[in-house]
Each structure stands twice: as C-alpha cells, then as structure tokens.
Amino acid sequence: VNTTIDTLPTPCLILDQAKFQHNVTKMRTRIAQRGGTLRLHVKTNKSIDATRRIIADGAPERIMVSTLEEARYFAAHGLRDITYGVGIVDQKLEETARLIGTGVDLKLVLDSAHMARRLGQRGRELGVTFKAYVEIDTDGHRAGLQPQDAQLIEIGRILAGDRGSQLAGVITHAGGSYECRSIPQIRAMAEQERSRLVVAAEHLRAAGIACPQTSLGSTPTATFGESLAGITEVRAGVYVFQDLVMAGLEVCRIEDIALSVLATVIGHQTTRNWLITDGGWMALSRDRGTAQQAVDQGYGVVCDVDGRAYGDLVVTSANQEHGIVADRHGGAIDFERFPIGTQVRVLPNHACATAAQHDRYHVVEGRQVKAVWPRINHW
Amino acid sequence: VNTTIDTLPTPCLILDQAKFQHNVTKMRTRIAQRGGTLRLHVKTNKSIDATRRIIADGAPERIMVSTLEEARYFAAHGLRDITYGVGIVDQKLEETARLIGTGVDLKLVLDSAHMARRLGQRGRELGVTFKAYVEIDTDGHRAGLQPQDAQLIEIGRILAGDRGSQLAGVITHAGGSYECRSIPQIRAMAEQERSRLVVAAEHLRAAGIACPQTSLGSTPTATFGESLAGITEVRAGVYVFQDLVMAGLEVCRIEDIALSVLATVIGHQTTRNWLITDGGWMALSRDRGTAQQAVDQGYGVVCDVDGRAYGDLVVTSANQEHGIVADRHGGAIDFERFPIGTQVRVLPNHACATAAQHDRYHVVEGRQVKAVWPRINHW
C-alpha cells in the first residue's frame, strides 16, 4: 500500500493509526492502574491486524467474541483463549466442541439450569469438557441471573458435577452504562457492576462451589470504574476506536475517535442548505445512539479530509447511499468551501455498528494510507 | 442443499420462496396494468440468483444499482442495461468508463453543470460517451433540481453539446412516499412524482433539448400510482421482499413479507417477561423505520419458525448479538411455549437494511431449505 486518501473510492472506512494507538495505550494504562487484567472484546474490530497491534501494545492474548465466526477466525490466527459471550444453545455445541478439539480454550456463557444440564450431557457425548460462565444481571439491561438467585447455586452444582462441563466463573456486562448521564453515574454503575458480580461469586462460594473467574466490563465502566476488588478480568472493545456515543459519555474526546467514514460531496441543495454526499446509512449504519444523549449527533459529525470536525456540520439524515449534511442549528452552508468532489470524513455514533458495514479498514497517517486491514462480518 | 431450517446456525437470513414469487408477480402485473415498464432496483436483493428469478418472471433485463460494486457484479453476470443511481463524481469516472468499455450500457446521474462539464471532458479523455440523467427533486427529500430550474436547461445543453457526454433523460425518486400516512397520500405523491418529472422533461424539450427517458419510482408510488403518462420506466426494489415499513404503508400485508431473520431463544428473563434471542441489531440492522408510523414494530415482528406472526411479540430492544423479545403491550410471556433453543423468525423493518447485514439468503419452502443464494455487500 502506497497511496493517499484522495485516491480511495468512497464511501470507505478510515482508521487513524495514531488515534487508535492512543486509545489502546490509554485503556491498557488505565486497567493497569486499577490493578486489573484486560480481555479485549474483538466484536468491535473483527480484524486480526488491529487485534495484533493491541496485543503488541501489551494487552493479554485473551479475547471475547460475539459470534462463532469471530471465534473461528481469531483461533485460525493463533488466538486460543476465547470467551464466546452470547448465551449458548444446543445448536451451537457441536461447533464449539470442534473448536475446543482444535486446541481452543473456549469458554461459554449461560444462565439456565436447562443449558447447564445440556452442556454436561453434550460434553460427554462429544468428548469434551465445556467450560461455562454463569451470566449475572447487574444492571437490568439484558440477560443473566440476579446475583443471589437460587438458580445460580443450582447451575453451579450442575456444571461442577458433570465431567462434560465445568464452571468457569461468573460474568456480567453493565451495558446500562451507555445510558448514564455523567461520569459520577458511570462510576457508580461500575461499582454496581463489580459489587453485584462479587456478590454472585461469593454466593456460589458460600455454597461450596469454586468460582475461579469474575469477568466484567464495558468501555465506560472500564474507563471510570475505580475498585476492581474481587475481579479477575475487565472486558472492553469499543475503546480501541471510540465513537460519538463514548464522546457523549465523556469517555473520550471527539478528537480521540479513530474511526471515520470517508465520503464525497456529490451535490448541493443550495435552497435547503444541504450538502449531499455518497455516505448514506449503508456506510454509516442506522445507529442513532446519540439521539438519547445531551447532544444528538444525527448520523455523525462531519470532519474535513484530515479528520478535523467542522464544528456544527452533521449528517442530519441518510438514505441508503446518500447522506444529507447540514448545520445542526440550520445555519447557512458556504457551498464554495465544499465543491462537488470534496472529501469529508464522518465520525460514527457507534463504532461497532459502523465498522460492521465495511469489509476493511484503510489505516492512515495524515493523508497517507499505510495499510489496508481486512475485517470479518456475519456469522 | 437438502436440509431443514432447524439445522441452520442462527442468526441467519431466510427468504420465503412463495412470498417472494408472489410479490414479484404482483408488482410486474401492477406495472403492466399501468402500462409501464419496470427497471428493477437491485440494491435491495444484491443477488444474481434473486434477480434472475425476477427476470424469469417477466421483468425486463434492466436494472438500477446503488453502488459500483453492484454494477460490476451484475455486469459480470451478464446484465448490461444498468443505471447507477448515486450522483456521479470525478473519482468514479475512470471506473464507470472501464465498465462502459466492457460493453455495459451504463447510465449515470447528476444534478450540476459542474459535473455535466466534467462528464464531457473526461468522456473525451477516456474515449467513451457518458450517458447521464439529470436528477429532479419531486418531493424535497434529497438531491435533484426543481423541475423548472434554469440550470436544467444549462445542464441539458452541456451534456447534449459534448461528444464525451449524452443526455439520457430525467430521473426522480419520491422517497418522501415512505413518510405518507395513507394510500390516498401515496397516490397523490405518485402523481406529484410523475407530473413534476414530466414538467422537467417538457422544460428541456421546450428549449429544444431531446429528453428521451423519464424514469421514476419507489415501491409505494409504483404500487399505488395511477397515470404513467409521459413516463418511460418505473423503478422499484423493496417490493420483491416487502417489509414492515411497507406493511405500515399498506403497500403489502405483514403475511406478504418474504424476508426474515431466523434467531434462537437463548434465555428467559421471567421477571421482566423477556425472551432473549441471538438475533441482535447486527442481524436485524439498526433500522427503526416503523418508529414514525402508526404502529411501531420495534426491531421487528416475531413469528414462529414457519413464519406466522405471534401477534403481539416484537423485538423491543437489541444489543449487538442479543434481541429482547416482549409483548408490545407489556403482557406476560408464556415461557413454556418458548423453551431455550426455540427458533423464531423476525420480520424486518426495512428489507434493504436487514438483508445488508447478511451475505446469503436461505431460500425456504415451508421448513425445507431449497437453495442458498449468496449476496454482495460493500462498495
């Protein structure tokens, strides 16, 4: 690769190498300060090239995946310590057993006695020992048992009592942190995530069941949380790119966002004060995660080709392959500043969603494209 | 392929063959009744297998594409009459000239004198004649000139007056039809789309400029519009699958929606009356197009494995790989009816967005998977 950004067909995905490195190092340092150990969530980057840089920076070689496709891909590239974070079901056990058979230390997640029993039974039948975390609900946003639910003990006993299964520990994700309104709220959410997970682990231990691992995390709680007492690992993924939702939570500054969509101005609607670009929702994603925040960033903040935000220009609406750019306050556009053919970069609301609309990252240093990193998608 | 739906890893995309065929035939018949000629918009299906069926049913071998990747792909599969619907810019002219050089009858779209001039100049330099439509704004929702804008004449003269370019005609898309609230409103929007486009064509002709083609369309206006006087082609794409937004507009019935996401129940939150599935926003897309309609369908209507809607079950919220299913009125879930491992099918808000999250269609007849059709994505 030896090209510059202006030769790239648009829309395409740009990764600012320096900002990416800054975010990676900052979180590594933060987790280390807190005395924690990181497990990188690769659902955001889905790229072995990106993940190798994060490991080279000092992240442990342990990852969390959100799909079995990610598990296969990262395992094929040599990563062996993998947790699959979506509640396991019967239909996926043959494939997970196959991965374990290739030497992957694969941990699963469940929250029911039914699946705990199935794990033991199918593990024996398939000749493997399935390791599973029990998911704990620490914020009411999704799956998991309450920390002191009696079923937790039942599940722990089932997993520990069958040679086809093993209890890895307890796991939680305070996704509710995305709805916090201030740093103190995120800090409180982090402490809630930690303390409730520790209560669950102690609940198991008090029943005589070994609970080796306590795994928690989200980018906001990993950033602002304080104590990690009783916690064996912190998971995060979005932080490597950051995005406008994270900026709205003060997890990062807008200038820290490493990911953007390169688009081209394809038209002017002068009477409406709109720039039309070829960066529609297909390239940006339909994510509107900032809509509930104090500052609604539309479909993304518009920057110049060097990645500097213009200030008040946002993608106010989007069709499949058209973005409509306007001043967020309805102000006039200086159309001479944006002739047709002008390249702009749009910062994403949600890095995971925007990156998933693309199959590669164009890694840039200034306007120089230094590398193209492929990424995977689908299941 | 000789398998049944219950063996498919979830989440994945299901296409009901009979419903697809019904939708395809119904629109073909409707356009024929109106005396029109269809140009299929392939941005929805992005699959040569799907498109071949639509042509086999009687659609003309002419397509509209939303990306140059679609143009390359469909051209490589033998489709030669292609209109690229996103305003052309300099950076894409070499690639479009290359496609024209391989024998593709490629039409472009623009709405500025600047790009009209560039087309002529670059056409001469590249040794091709670029055919271009001038985009007309008939509903204020996106790009295009007003029908009687003086620039239209200027652009027409530039295109017609250069051997590197040629005026194909005028083109419009009444995307505003998606925001209509009733069939009479859609019908009025269709007439507005038609009449304003004809005004633009007559405006050119009155200035002595030949305007051979008048191209319009959207699935709602194609369905409910009446007169096609002065119109040479009608474009539509979503109709082949249909979706909840279309059902909300009464363009189709919910039972006509051919596309769904197969997901598996991975957990129960009994105290909250939630089913947790492995169909999150990555599989469903973040599209919330029904949020502004009379009936907000959340992230999608939940059906049984045979595709029959349960009635009030919708995906009320979604994480990346988790869907939360609840009764839309907050009613109790009968959890015994949905044991962990149960497969459900989720109807999409917006077929284009949901299909784009996947790389293949599993074409089913009942529970039998009859074929797997790959689809393309990206640019």
Measured CA to CA, the distance from residue B200 to residue B173 in angstroms comes to 14
Q: Return the number of other C-beta atoms located less than 10 Å from residue B182's C-beta.
A: 12
Contacts of A112 in chain B (CB under 8 A): 267-268, 340
Contact of B357 with chain A, judged by CB distance below 8 Å, is answered with yes
Contacts of A276 in chain B (CB under 8 A): 87, 142-143
In this prediction, residues B359-372 reach a mean pLDDT of 97
Cα pseudo-dihedral A120, A122, A127, A128, rounded to 10: -60
In this prediction, residues A93-116 reach a mean pLDDT of 98
Q: Quick check: B262 and B248 in contact, CB under 8 A?
A: no
Q: Of the candidates A158, A109, A119, A306, which has an alpha carbon nearest to the alpha carbon of residue B267?
A: A109
Res. A1: pLDDT tops 70: no
Cβ–Cβ of A9/B68 closer than 8 Å? yes
Residues 4-23 in B contacting A (C-alpha not used; CB under 8 Å): 6-7, 9-12
- CA-nearest residue to A111 within chain B is B267
Cα pseudo-dihedral B27, B55, B80, B91, rounded to 10: 50
SS (H, E, C) B217-258: CCHHHHHHCCCCCCCCEEEECHHHCCCHHHHHCCCCCHHHCC
Q: CA of A181: how far to CAs of A23, A240, A291, in Å?
A: 22, 22, 13
Inter-helix orientation angle A183-206/A150-160, to 10°: 60
Q: Of the candidates B181, B250, B169, which has an alpha carbon nearest to the alpha carbon of residue B211?
A: B169
| Residue A105 bridge partners (DSSP) | A81
Contacts of A64 in chain B (CB under 8 A): none
Inter-helix orientation angle B17-33/B48-56, to 10°: 50
Measured CA to CA, the distance from residue A63 to residue A81 in angstroms comes to 6
CB contact set of A52 (below 8 Å; sequence gap of 6+) = none
Q: Give φ, ψ of B36 to 5 degrees.
A: -105, 175
pLDDT score at B2? 76
Phi-psi region of B213 (alpha: psi -120 to 50; beta: other; left: phi over 0): beta
Distance from CA of A294 to the nearest CA of B (A): 21
Q: Where is A362: in which H helix or E strand?
A: strand A360-365
Q: Return the number of other C-beta atoms located less than 10 Å from residue B132's C-beta.
A: 27
Residues 83-122 in A contacting B (C-alpha not used; CB under 8 Å): 85-92, 95, 110-112, 114-115
Q: Of the candidates B279, B290, B278, which has an alpha carbon nearest to the alpha carbon of residue B350?
A: B290
From the list A89, A286, A320, the residue facing B286 with the nearest CB is A286
Residue-wise pLDDT for A108-162, tens only, equals: 999 999 999 999 999 999 999 999 999 999 999 999 999 999 999 999 999 999 9
Identity (one letter) of the amino acid at A50? A
Q: CA of A345: how far to CAs of A256, A262, A305, A373, in Å?
A: 14, 4, 6, 18
In this prediction, residues B182-199 reach a mean pLDDT of 97
Percent of chain B with pLDDT over 90: 99
> CA torsion sign, B324 to B327 to B332 to B334?
negative
Measured CA to CA, the distance from residue A129 to residue B176 in angstroms comes to 56
Q: Give φ, ψ of A203 to 5 degrees.
A: -60, -45
Cis peptide before B184 (omega within 30 of 0): no
Q: Where is A54: in which H helix or E strand?
A: helix A48-56
How many A-B residue pairs are in contact by the CB < 8 A criterion? 148
Contact of A76 with chain B, judged by CB distance below 8 Å, is answered with no
Contacts of B340 in chain A (CB under 8 A): 89, 112, 114-115
Res. A2: pLDDT tops 80: no
Q: Are strands A213-216 and B62-65 parallel, antiparallel or unpaired?
A: unpaired
From the list B66, B137, B276, the residue facing A87 with the nearest CB is B276
Q: Of the candidates B318, B333, B239, which has an alpha carbon nearest to the alpha carbon of residue B45?
A: B239
Q: Quick check: A155 and A116 in contact, CB under 8 A?
A: yes
In this prediction, residues A183-195 reach a mean pLDDT of 97
Q: ∠ at Cα B199 (B193, B203), nearest 5°?
A: 145
CB contact set of A194 (below 8 Å; sequence gap of 6+) = A216, A225, A227, A228, A229, A230, A231
DSSP assignments along B328-372, one per residue:
TT-PPP-GGGS-TT-EEEEE-S-HHHHHTT-SEEEEEETTEEEEE
- CA-nearest residue to A341 within chain B is B89
DSSP assignments along A176-219, one per residue:
GGGG--SHHHHHHHHHHHHHHHHHHHHHHHHTT----EEEE--H
Cβ–Cβ of B66/A352 closer than 8 Å? no
> CA torsion sign, A53 to A54 to A55 to A57?
positive
Contacts of A11 in chain B (CB under 8 A): 379
pLDDT score at B315? 98
What ipTM did this prediction achieve?
0.97
pLDDT confidence band for B198 (50 / 70 / 90): very high
Residues 240-299 in A contacting B (C-alpha not used; CB under 8 Å): 264-269, 272, 276, 278, 281-283, 285-288
CB contact set of B88 (below 8 Å; sequence gap of 6+) = A266, B96, B108, B109, B110, B115, B119, B132
From the list B9, B91, B268, the residue facing A379 with the nearest CB is B9
Cβ–Cβ of A115/B140 closer than 8 Å? no
Q: Where is A85: in which H helix or E strand?
A: none
pTM, whole model, 2 decimals?
0.97
Q: Return the number of other C-beta atoms located less than 10 Å from residue B16's C-beta.
A: 23
> CA torsion sign, B95 to B101 to B103 to B106?
positive
- CA-nearest residue to A114 within chain B is B340
* Residue B82, token pair as written in the block: 């292609």
Residue-wise pLDDT for B281-321, tens only, equals: 999 999 999 999 999 999 999 999 999 999 899 999 999 99
Grouping H, G, I as helix, E, B as strand and the rest as coil, residue A280 is coil
Q: Are strands B274-277 and B213-216 parallel, antiparallel or unpaired?
A: unpaired
Using alpha carbons only, how large is chain A's radius of gyration in Å?
Answer: 22
Q: Return the number of other C-beta atoms located less than 10 Å from residue B308's C-beta.
A: 10
Q: Give φ, ψ of A371 to 5 degrees.
A: -165, 160
In this prediction, residues B2-31 reach a mean pLDDT of 96
Q: ∠ at Cα B243 (B239, B245), nearest 5°?
A: 105
Q: Return the number of other C-beta atoms located less than 10 Å from residue B77's C-beta.
A: 12
Res. A10: pLDDT tops 80: yes
Q: Of the candidates B288, B349, B9, B62, which has an alpha carbon nearest to the alpha carbon of residue A93?
A: B9
Identity (one letter) of the amino acid at B250? E
Residue-wise pLDDT for A229-264, tens only, equals: 999 999 999 999 999 999 999 999 999 999 999 999
Scored b (16 or more CB within 10 A) or e, B147-170 reads bebeebbebbbbbbebebbbbbbb
Q: Return the number of other C-beta atoms located less than 10 Å from residue A101's C-beta.
A: 12
Identity (one letter) of the amino acid at A255? E
Percent of chain B with pLDDT over 70: 100
Residues 158-177 in A contacting B (C-alpha not used; CB under 8 Å): 175
In this prediction, residues B175-181 reach a mean pLDDT of 93
pLDDT score at B1? 67
* Residue A44, token pair as written in the block: 């955001």
Scored b (16 or more CB within 10 A) or e, A178-213 reads bebeeeebbbbbbbbbbebbbbbbbbbeeeebebeb
Output the average pLDDT for chain B: 97
Res. B145: pLDDT tops 90: yes
Q: Of the candidates B153, B163, B155, which has an alpha carbon nearest to the alpha carbon of residue B130?
A: B163
Res. B40: pLDDT tops 90: yes
Contact of A359 with chain B, judged by CB distance below 8 Å, is answered with yes
From the list B319, B340, B379, the residue facing A142 with the nearest CB is B319
* Residue A55, token pair as written in the block: 């490991």
Q: Return the number of other C-beta atoms located less than 10 Å from residue B254's C-beta.
A: 17
